[in-house]
Amino acid sequence: MLLSGYDPVVYSRILTSLTLAFHIIFATIGVGVPLMIALAEWIGLKRNDEHYLLMARRWARGFVITVAVGVVTGTAIGLQLSLLWPSFMRVAGQSIALPLFMETFAFFFEAIFLGIYLYTWDRFRSRMVHFWLLIPVVIGSSASAFFITVVNAFMNAPAGVTVKDGKIIDISPFGAMLSPAMPTKVSHVLITAYATCAFVLAAISAWSLLKGRQHVYYKKALKLTMVSAFVFLIGSAIIGDLSGKYLANYQPEKLAAMEWHFETSKQAPLVLGGVLTKDNEIKYGLTIPYALSILAHGTPNAEVTGLNDIPADEHPPLWIHYLFDMKMALVALMTLISSVFMLVLWRKRSLAYTSKWLLRAVILAAPVAMLTIEHGWIFSEVGRQPWILHGIMKTSEGATASGHVDTMLVVFALLYLVLGVTAVRVLIKMFSSNRAEDEIKARGIEGGEEQ
C-alpha cells in the first residue's frame, strides 16, 4: 500500500485523473490537427502551392504517432470507467449509453478514413479525391469529442431523466443528450482544441525559424497556424463568457466556489487573486465591483447565489478559485502573444518571421495552450465535486470497492511515462532527421509563390 489506509475511492479518483490528464493531450491533438491538415491541403490545392501540400503531409505523418497514443489511452479510459466506477456505469448505462455508443461510431468512422487517407496520397488521378477523404476524419474526430462531451455535460447537469429518491426512474435517451451544460461545454471543448493545435503547430515552425532555417515553407506554416489560432481564440473567449452565464443558472455552487462568493447578493464583485483565511475571509485580492454580476447574468444589478445558501456537504473545494485565476492568466498570455503577432504581421510582416522575441513567445504559447486545456478540465471536474452525477450520485458512491486500485495506479503511471517519453522521442527523431527543406529538395518541389 502506498498510503497508510487503502481507500479505493481516492485511488480511483487519482487513477482516473491521471489517465484523463494524459489522454486529453493526445485527444486534443486528435480533434484539432485534422482540421489544420485539411486547411493546409485545401489551400495547397486551391493555390496549387506544393508547400502547403507538403505541410499537410508532414503534419499527417506526425499526427499518426499521436493518434496511436490517443487511441490506446482512449481505450484505457473507456474500460477504466467500468473497472473503477462500476456502480456509476450501472446508472450511466441506463441514462447516457446513447452518446457513448455514438462516440464509438464517430471513432470508427474516423479510424477507417484516416487509414485510407494516409495510404492514398498518390493514388487518385484527381487530388481533390484525396482531400475529400479527410473530411470524414475531421467530422469523425470532432463528432467523437462532441459525443463524449455530451456525456460529461450530463454528469454536470443531468437532463431528460426523472429522479425519485436519488434513483433515475424514467429516461428519454435523446433528452439526456440535451443537457443545459451541453451547448457551452461542447463548443468550448471543440474550439479550444482547434486553438491549441494551431498554437502547437505554430510553435514547430517558429522553432525552425528561430534556428535560422529561413525557408519560405516555415513562414507559410507560421502564418497559417497563427492566423487560425487567433480566430479560434476569439471564438473561445465568446464561448467562455457564455459558460460563466450557464454556471450561474445551473451550477451556482461551482461559480460561487470559484469566485469565493459567500453571501447571495446583487451587484456582486469579482475577486482576482487573493488568499482565503480559515474563517473564509479574502485577503490581498483585487476586487472588481459589479463584475461577477455582469459575468453571471450580463447586468450589474443581477443577484448571484452565494455559497452560504448551499448545503455544506455539497460545496466544491474552495481552492478551485486559484485554478480559475491561473487559467485566466494563461488565457491572457495566449491572447497577448497572438494579438501581438497579428499586429506585427499586419504592420511589419518581415519582423513577424525574424524577431527572436516574437518567435520565442510563439513557442511559449504552445505549452501554455496545452496547460490551459489541462487546467480547464481540472477546474471543471473538481468544481463539480462532491457529485459524480450532479444531484443524483456522489462520487464516493460510484467507485469500485475492489482491492488493488493502488497497484494499478502505479502500473498505469509507469505506462504513461514510458508511452509519453517514447512518443516525444519518436516525433523529434522523425522530423529532425527529415527536415522540410530537405524533403522539398528530395521531392523536387518548386517553390510556390512567395508569401
Partner 1 sequence: MSYEVLGITVLWVFLFGYLIVASIDFGAGFFSYYSTITGKRHLIHNIIERYLSPVWEVTNVFLVFFFVGIVGFFPDTAYYYGTALLVPGSVAVVLLAIRGSYYAFNAYGSKKNNSIYILLYGASGLLIPASLSTVMTISEGGYIDVDPAGKVTFLYAKLFTSTYSWSVVLLALVSVLYISAMFLSYYAKRANDRSAFEVVRRYALAWSAPTILSSLLVFFAIRGHNAEHFAKLQSHAWMFVASFACFLMAVYLVWTRKRLGLAFIFVMLQFGFAFFGYGAAHLPYILYPYLTIHDNFTSQPMAIALISVFILGLLLLIPSLYLLMRLFLFDAKYVQGKRAK
> Please, which of residues 63-92 interact with partner 1 by CB under 8 A?
64-65, 67-69, 71-76, 78-80, 82-87, 89-92
Name the residue with cell 473503477.
84
Q: Which stretch binds partner 1 (CB under 8 A): 37-45, 169-177, 255-263, 365-373?
A: 169-177
Question: How near is the Cβ of 446 to partner 1 at its closest, in Å?
Answer: 20
Between 100 and 178, whose beta carbon lies closer to partner 1?
100
> What is residue 164's DSSP assignment?
E
Question: How near is the Cβ of 442 to partner 1 at its closest, in Å?
Answer: 14
Query: Which of residues 9, 114, 203, 226 is near partner 1 by CB under 8 A?
Result: 114
Q: Cα separation of 317 and 257, whole Å?
A: 7
Q: Cα separation of 241 and 342, whole Å?
A: 23
103 near partner 1, judged by CB under 8 A: yes
Question: How near is the Cβ of 358 to partner 1 at its closest, in Å?
Answer: 32
Q: Do the beta carbons of residue 288 and residue 270 sit within 8 Å? A: yes
On the CB side of 322, CA atoms within 13 Å amount to 6
Between 112 and 237, whose beta carbon lies closer to partner 1?
112
CA-to-CA dists, residue 28 to 8, 70, 350, angstroms: 29, 9, 32
Q: Do the beta carbons of residue 327 and residue 372 sit within 8 Å? A: yes
Q: Do the beta carbons of residue 329 and residue 166 sit within 8 Å? A: no
Q: Which stretch binds partner 1 (CB under 8 A): 39-47, 102-110, 244-252, 265-273?
A: 102-110
Between 251 and 400, whose beta carbon lies closer to partner 1?
400
> How many C-beta neighbours within 10 Å does residue 203 have?
22
21 near partner 1, judged by CB under 8 A: no
Q: Which stretch binds partner 1 (CB under 8 A): 121-129, 188-196, 257-265, 385-393?
A: 121-129
Instruction: For residue 200, give the amino acid letter.
Output: V
Q: Which stretch binds partner 1 (CB under 8 A): 58-66, 229-237, 274-282, 331-339?
A: 58-66
**What is the x/- site pattern for partner 1, positions 394-423, by CB under 8 A?**
------xxx-xx-xx--xx--x---x--xx
Q: Cα separation of 222 and 209, whole Å?
A: 9
The footprint of partner 1 on residues 170-229 (CB under 8 A) is: 170-174
Q: Cα separation of 177 and 263, whole Å?
A: 33
Instruction: State how far Cα 440 lies from the chain centre.
Output: 33
The footprint of partner 1 on residues 124-143 (CB under 8 A) is: 136
Three cell numbers, residue 337: 502573444
Between 304 and 405, whose beta carbon lies closer to partner 1?
405
